[in-house]
Structure 1
Amino acid sequence: MLCSQSFGTIIATILGQNKRLSVMTSMTSFIALVFFCNYAIPIKEFIYPFQLFSEITFQKHLFNGLLIVTYGLGRCGSGQSRVFYDYKIDDNSSGGKSHRDFWFCLMSLLIIFLVLKIIEFVLLITSINVNFEETQNNDQLADENGLQFNRLLLIAWIELTLVRVQTNSKKTKKNIFNQLSGGFDLNTINAVMGPSGAGKTSLLKCLSGQNSQHLTDKSKIYLTSSMKIRTCFISQNIFDHLVTGLTVKQYLIYASKLKNSCFSGKSIDHKVITDKLMDEMLINDISDINVSHCSGGQLKRIVIASELTVYCKPNILFIDEPTSGVDSYSALKIISCLKMLCRRHNMSVITTIHQPNSDLLELFDKVYVLSRSGTNIFSGRPQDIHHFLNANDSSYQQNLHPIEHMLMLASVDHENSCLKKLSQTNNLSTKEGLISRCNVQTIESTKDMFFRSKRFYLSDLWHLTVRNMLCSYVYEWKSICFQIVLYLGLAIGLSTLYNRRMILADGCVDDNIFTYGMNCTETEESLNDESLLKRNLQYHMSFLMGSSFIQIILTTMTFSSKVNIFFNEHRNGWYSTGAYYISKSVIDFLPLLISMLMFSYIINYYDSKRMYFVYLYTLLFVVLCSQSFGHISGIIFSNNQSMMSFTTFFKC
């Protein structure tokens, strides 16, 4: 069970964003495990490379261990069971060799389990985008409410070009966007706009340090030299951030406890932080409602509030499509709250947005419009779009709203002469002032300025474990009961189908094992004995394979939907990988332990304490190893549903 659990964990971690692919990966692996378990085909009949590979499959050691404890350990006295001859297992009951072989199988299971856990942990570390870890006043401006805020260039980019290799036979390169230049100031709310496929989200990821490996050498990103940059990235899918099962207030309090654990020297009142943010984000009226029952607009504001519970708030907040999937009133509410946060908390917000209405557009301090060809055709205040189009576009229709006409132009072919003129004019005016400001106010960014992971804190482990226990054991109790019912159903079904008399056959032969099978005539008793032996082996293989299959599939399906929450929370500095890994292992183990305690009791036909604990030990390790395989599949194929399902199938 332990090995199956670890197996499932690894699959789901690799393939977290693609459930079908995770399931197929796990099933694929399961079939491979069955093939090398020594039951279908004795391992010693394989070619030598396959024999070596079988040593790392936990099912083989499990099967051999059960054969030794069932038919060895002195059961045949000075003789030997023919089961060992049939499955090519060396055994000698004298001298304690059976005991040594049995413990060797158990230790092999333990080693394989630990190796799978290490692989799972390493994959979690390598699959994450870690988030990076006060200020001087410059020129003062005032917003419409009379609040003062700093005019300081916070982030800028010059000749930014993102290149992706297309997965076709020729592996051609495609520019997502070309030689973009621009910048955003402190205390401003900014919108990156453009048609679908223009590269809005890709630009946000580049500015937050997530796509740096795909940028060209000439691409430069600059950050202000006046303060340490603290960023936060919120993806479009809010369910990749939200942990269901908690009330809004509980969720925000746990967010505050996790994000502020590194400020141990400061007196932090998590309730005060939560109440203030709920008031600022206009969600205090839903504080006692479960997050799963909130509307789309409320959920987006909850996610934003959770990322701002930290004591030292981020000075750049990247939000991908904060208004998607909500009505115009909710969208207006979200952007209004974000604008107020910019002014109040000395931060800047950079969002992507499709087609805002006029009221929503006026809330932004700056808009940055991308064309479908990956060029920037406007960068400036929303109020200046009309004058820019009047001066540079002869086809501009006065009856259309300026932003509507701008987005229509952004969607045309890249060879359009008007589009080229807009792009060239905008780039000249943008770069002229930007380069001089960059030389004075910024420094060129490095990887270390973006990627700063949070170190391990015991308080993070405690708060994370308590939070996830509430979600798993209280809110998701039906899933745990379903898992237990599946195992009980398998155990009861098998114990009902198979006759208890099968445990009576021992398959013992005389001391000269080489004479076994040489006699052409067999008695009815020996034939019956052989039939019972086969049934007993089928019984053991049925519950071993059945329990492993259940665990791989369950792990792949459940963890693949949660791994993205880990990626986002870790990137935004909630906790370390170690804290998450230990917490998750503890929470996953308890339901499995309960299931296997009952499962081992039901399948134990021998009414022996020794056999009960042998079953319990081996089944726990098999299921946990299978779980790790599922987690690995979930990590690797997190963006590919089909491949995850395919590999899960063959792992079964």
Structure 2
Amino acid sequence: MDIETSEDYKLSFQDLSVFINKTQILHNVCGDVHSKEVLAVMGPSGSGKTTMLNAIAGREAVKLGEITINDQRINKQLRRKMGYVLQQDLFYSNLTLWETLYFTAMLHIPEKVSKPDKLRRIDAIIETLDLEKCRKTIIGAQFTHGLSGGEKKRLSIACELLTNPDIMLLDEPTSGLDSSTAYSLMVQVKRYAEMYNKAVIVTIHQPSSQIFHMFNTLLLLADGHVSYFGKAEKALDFFEEINFVCEPHFNPADFLLELVKKDEETLEIILENWKAKSSSNNKKLSNCNSLDLDNFEPVHEPSDITLQYIKILDSDENKDIDKFSNGNQLSDVRWQSSFWTQLKMLTWRNFKQSRSRILSKYVVGSNIVIAFAMAILWFQMERSYKTIRDRMGWSFFIIVYWGFSPIMDAVISFPLEKTIMLKERAAGSYRLSAYYLAKTISEIPLIALLPFIFVTITYWAAGMKGVVEYIATMLLISLSAINSQGFGFVLGAGILNFELALTSSTTFMLLSLTLGGFYIQRFPSWLVWSRYLSLLHYPFAAISILEFADTPQIPCANATVTQFPQCGKNGTDFVTPKMILEDVQVTLPIYCYICTLIIMTILVRILGYFVLRLKTRQKHLS
């Protein structure tokens, strides 16, 4: 395939000043980068490197200064020409590398591009970034083997390359990688910039000397100030002029970093000399002064190893990465894919991710063990007045168990998913409504499956009522589990502190347990209303009606006052089903409990969406 290279671009930033919590992080930072160039932003930790990238990408508010592309002030449309690779690699751990790229391609490449062309583009990028051997490898997590650190970083870059950006922003791409892997990665980045006419800005903390010599331009930050901006190979010349000489065979990057963080006096000398040097120069970068770079000849050429590596990557079979030039065309459309495409792909991805979590072998095994334990303890109970409390205990235990499990799963799993969602939303991947609806749709069948198996095992083993009641009981417990998960979404989305969210969910469920009606049969008269606050009360009441509504009257002569305190009061000779249900605070018709449970389930899902939307707006990402 023929390569369609991008037009020439120049990204400039002048006098960038950024404040975070009233603390100034960047002080009049200036610089620029052209197509086919790699601008390296170096500096000690806390010097403002990531803040500068966030400001350029529009993820951090800029109080003063200007950012332009080809002398046009940057806006949302122009920012779509950028690809931003974060320092932290955030992916769904149970998806493979290819599945991750497929999801990204289907959402980020315009729908006018055919699916076969999208798949060919995925294959081209996989081959270009040398990811073929791990195409079918899952991403992996802390306790799950998957991609290596270098492979994850290349995957992050691959996801951005799918959209064919003209300007790439890479935040610490070599962080956590060994020197060989870091070098190979930067060779690929350099090759990408030169071959496809792209501009690259990369923040990097402490590169090797080989990596340092790949950079076209260097921006050296110190405490948020520019201490050098110019050609990378001329940086040592500037510092030598002010009597800071790098020893021969010493890594220039190490020398520069040690110098700018040595002490305040040294830093002041550097900043003053840089200001004087740039001010006396004739060439200016808009409102900022820069060294005249055009009169210098490069003193470092790429090593033979670098040239050989680029030559290998430059083979004809890899020359189809830039076929799709959608990145070169500005579009006023906010989303590259329709709502239904977003919903379909998000549902597909979330189902694959959640299936491995909700139906993991450990979870399934644990539930089967508990189900058989219940089957043994409640095995074939006698259907008489003597086992009424035992049968109520069976239903209440299952309702409590399938109330706690889903809410805890939602609260525990949501923080990581929310972090990925915020990253993808910041990149304009999909609508929040599509994400939330897809998460609901994809997880409902998974959440309902295990209660179905659990009830099937224990219901018939315990000798409960009949087929109709079994089906109704199964549906009620599944609905209760879905309702509990909805409350977990609300808590997980609404409370940013994970420990607080977990504690809140536990407290909420324990209160529901206490007010559910099984443990406390006689509420204080002034507190009777509180049972309706328990989400466990409604399924328990409905199942109790199913099981006991047609129980034959129990003669008080055959029972004790301890069992049924109603006996002997007001001439009561028989205990009716109504009395049995009133003992556990069940006083309404069954349809009231079922309808309330359904309405509550729907409303809590809607509430979860608005809570999530509110929180994303607070992060300026909605």
**Superposition TM-score tier, normalisation by shorter sequence:** 0.5 to 0.7
Matched, 1:161 2:20: no
Q: How has the CA–CA distance of structure 1 residues 477 and 590 changed in structure 2, closer, same or farther, with 3 Å as cutoff?
A: same
Q: What residue number does 1:303 align with?
A: 156
Decide which of 614, 624, 645 is 2:482's aligned counterpart: 624
Decide which of 223, 246, 251 is 2:69's aligned counterpart: 223
Q: What residue number does 2:231 align with?
A: 381
Trace 1:191-206 onto structure 2 (pairs within 5 A): 191-206=40-55
CA distance in 1, matches of 2:280, 2:177: 35
Q: What residue number does 2:304 align with?
A: none
Output one character per residue of 1:487-518: Cα deviation in whole Å (capped at 9) or x when no partner: 4444444454458658644xxxxxxxxxxxxx
Decide which of 447, 466, 476 is 1:608's aligned counterpart: 466
Matched, 1:190 2:70: no
Matched, 1:418 2:300: no
CA distance in 2, matches of 1:430, 1:618: 78
Q: Which amino acid aligns with 1:386?
A: L
Q: Which amino acid aligns with 1:596?
A: P
Q: What residue number does 2:26 align with?
A: 177
TM-fit CA distance, 1:354: 0.9
Q: Which amino acid aligns with 1:207?
A: I
Q: Is contact 1:229-1:449 (8 Å) kept?
A: no
Q: Is contact 1:189-1:349 (8 Å) kept?
A: yes
Q: How has the CA–CA distance of structure 1 residues 467 and 177 changed in structure 2, closer, same or farther, with 3 Å as cutoff?
A: same
Output one character per residue of 1:524-573: Cα deviation in whole Å (capped at 9) or x when no partner: xxxxx7xx655555444332222211112222333433333333334334
Q: How has the CA–CA distance of structure 1 residues 256 and 499 changed in structure 2, closer, same or farther, with 3 Å as cutoff?
A: closer
Q: How has the CA–CA distance of structure 1 residues 614 and 225 changed in structure 2, closer, same or farther, with 3 Å as cutoff?
A: farther
Show structure 2 runs of 5+ residues with no match. 141-145, 290-329, 510-622
Matched, 1:355 2:206: yes
Output one character per residue of 1:379-430: Cα deviation in whole Å (capped at 9) or x when no partner: 1211111121122x33434445443332113224446432432453477479
Q: What residue number does 2:572 align with?
A: none
TM-fit CA distance, 1:327: 1.6
Q: What residue number does 1:316 align with?
A: 167
Q: What residue number does 2:344 align with?
A: 462
Q: CA RMSD in A?
A: 3.6
The number of aligned residues is: 451
Q: Which amino acid aligns with 1:462?
A: K
Q: What residue number does 1:556 align with?
A: 411
Q: Is contact 1:278-1:284 (8 Å) kept?
A: yes
CA distance in 2, matches of 1:326, 1:358: 15
SS at match of 1:196: coil
Trace 1:99-118 onto structure 2 (pairs within 5 A): none
TM-fit CA distance, 1:275: 2.5
Output one character per residue of 1:4-40: Cα deviation in whole Å (capped at 9) or x when no partner: xxxxxxxxxxxxxxxxxxxxxxxxxxxxxxxxxxxxx
SS at match of 2:151: helix
Once superposed, which parts of structure 1, at least 4 consecutive aligned residues long, lie more than 6 Å away? Answer: 429-432, 448-451
CA distance in 1, matches of 2:340, 2:175: 38
Q: What residue number does 1:273 align with?
A: 121
Q: Is contact 2:14-2:287 (8 Å) kept?
A: no
Output one character per residue of 1:583-630: Cα deviation in whole Å (capped at 9) or x when no partner: 322321222222122233345453234433443333223322322333
CA distance in 2, matches of 1:237, 1:437: 32
CA distance in 1, matches of 2:437, 2:374: 34
Greater displacement, 615-624 / 396-405? 396-405
Q: What residue number does 2:426 align with?
A: 571
Q: Which amino acid aligns with 1:302?
A: L
Q: What residue number does 1:634 align with?
A: 492
CA distance in 2, matches of 1:351, 1:572: 18
TM-fit CA distance, 1:453: 4.7
SS at match of 2:286: helix
CA distance in 1, matches of 2:395, 2:504: 25
Q: How has the CA–CA distance of structure 1 residues 257 and 340 changed in structure 2, closer, same or farther, with 3 Å as cutoff?
A: same
Q: Is contact 1:153-1:186 (8 Å) kept?
A: yes
Trace 1:162-561 onto structure 2 (pairs within 5 A): 162-165=18-21, 173-212=22-61, 215-216=62-63, 218-224=64-70, 228-230=78-80, 231-238=82-89, 240-241=90-91, 243-246=93-96, 248-260=97-109, 262-264=110-112, 269-292=117-140, 293-310=146-163, 313-371=164-222, 373-391=223-241, 393-399=242-248, 400-414=250-264, 416-422=267-273, 424-425=275-276, 428=279, 433-435=284-286, 452-454=334-336, 456-473=338-355, 476=356, 479-498=359-378, 504-505=384-385, 535-561=390-416
TM-fit CA distance, 1:350: 1.7
Trace 1:7-46 onto structure 2 (pairs within 5 A): none
CA distance in 1, matches of 2:281, 2:492: 44
Greater displacement, 561-570 / 544-553? 561-570
Q: Is contact 1:241-1:568 (8 Å) kept?
A: no
Output one character per residue of 1:85-144: Cα deviation in whole Å (capped at 9) or x when no partner: xxxxxxxxxxxxxxxxxxxxxxxxxxxxxxxxxxxxxxxxxxxxxxxxx9996xxxxxxx
CA distance in 1, matches of 2:287, 2:85: 31
Q: How has the CA–CA distance of structure 1 residues 346 and 291 changed in structure 2, closer, same or farther, with 3 Å as cutoff?
A: same
TM-fit CA distance, 1:437: 9.6
Show structure 1 runs of 5+ residues with no match. 1-133, 138-149, 166-172, 439-447, 506-528
Q: Which amino acid aligns with 1:410?
A: V
Q: How has the CA–CA distance of structure 1 residues 417 and 578 changed in structure 2, closer, same or farther, with 3 Å as cutoff?
A: closer
Q: How has the CA–CA distance of structure 1 residues 323 and 460 changed in structure 2, closer, same or farther, with 3 Å as cutoff?
A: same
CA distance in 1, matches of 2:486, 2:149: 34
SS at match of 2:284: helix
Q: Is contact 1:551-1:627 (8 Å) kept?
A: yes
SS at match of 2:25: strand
Q: What residue number does 1:15 align with?
A: none
SS at match of 1:562: helix
SS at match of 1:325: coil
Q: Is contact 2:39-2:216 (8 Å) kept?
A: yes
Q: Is contact 1:242-1:303 (8 Å) kept?
A: no
TM-fit CA distance, 1:456: 3.4
Q: How has the CA–CA distance of structure 1 residues 552 and 501 changed in structure 2, closer, same or farther, with 3 Å as cutoff?
A: same
CA distance in 2, matches of 1:426, 1:641: 50
Report the identity percentage: 22
Q: Is contact 1:321-1:351 (8 Å) kept?
A: yes
CA distance in 1, matches of 2:394, 2:465: 16
Q: What residue number does 1:517 align with?
A: none
TM-fit CA distance, 1:377: 0.9
Q: How has the CA–CA distance of structure 1 residues 591 and 136 changed in structure 2, closer, same or farther, with 3 Å as cutoff?
A: closer
Q: Which amino acid aligns with 1:482?
A: Y
TM-fit CA distance, 1:348: 1.8
Q: How has the CA–CA distance of structure 1 residues 471 and 242 changed in structure 2, closer, same or farther, with 3 Å as cutoff?
A: closer
TM-fit CA distance, 1:322: 0.7
CA distance in 2, matches of 1:503, 1:182: 82
CA distance in 2, matches of 1:349, 1:496: 66
CA distance in 2, matches of 1:344, 1:207: 24
Greater displacement, 342-351 / 597-606? 597-606
Q: How has the CA–CA distance of structure 1 residues 135 and 157 changed in structure 2, closer, same or farther, with 3 Å as cutoff?
A: farther
SS at match of 2:162: coil
Q: How has the CA–CA distance of structure 1 residues 277 and 477 changed in structure 2, closer, same or farther, with 3 Å as cutoff?
A: same
CA distance in 1, matches of 2:71, 2:423: 27
Q: Which amino acid aligns with 2:128?
A: E
Q: Is contact 2:30-2:288 (8 Å) kept?
A: no
CA distance in 2, matches of 1:651, 1:352: 45
SS at match of 1:561: helix
CA distance in 2, matches of 1:430, 1:309: 41
CA distance in 1, matches of 2:415, 2:428: 21
